[in-house]
């Protein structure tokens, strides 16, 4: 189980490093577009959180954009929780 956790953590950290490189390169190309992209990502995650934590209407399921933003928020939150628990238990901090 520890090996699986390490493999998943390595994958997540690699993806975060690639994201940091993309942000750095984007910032050097155009700071305004980078901030616009960060704003859109924030709106995406905020909409997903809003759809998760609000009271659903009776008889309505999540469809389309709501389902995508909810899945994106859940994935981001799960990744954050995983890194928090893994980071505190690895003895490297």
Identify the pLDDT of residue 12. Answer: 84
Tally of residues, the chain: 93
Q: Which long-range contacts (CB under 8 A, 24 or more apart) does 66-69 make?
A: 69/44, 69/45
Domain limits at 83? 2-89
pLDDT in tens, the chain (93 residues): 667 777 887 888 888 888 889 899 999 999 999 999 899 999 999 999 998 888 776 666 667 888 899 999 999 998 888 878 777 775 554
What is the count of structural domains for the chain? 1
Look at the pTM and tell me if it is higher than 0.75.
Answer: no
- Which pLDDT score is estimated for 60? 67
């Amino acid at each position: 189980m520890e090996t699986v956790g390490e493999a998943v953590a390595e994958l997540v950290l690699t993806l975060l490093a690639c994201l940091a490189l993309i942000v750095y390169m984007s910032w050097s190309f155009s700071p305004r577009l980078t901030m616009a992209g960060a704003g859109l990502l924030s709106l995406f995650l905020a909409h997903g959180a809003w759809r998760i934590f609000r009271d659903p209407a009776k008889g309505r399921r999540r469809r389309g954009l709501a389902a995508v933003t909810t899945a994106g928020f859940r994935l981001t939150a799960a990744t954050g929780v995983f890194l928090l628990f893994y980071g505190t238990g690895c003895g490297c901090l």
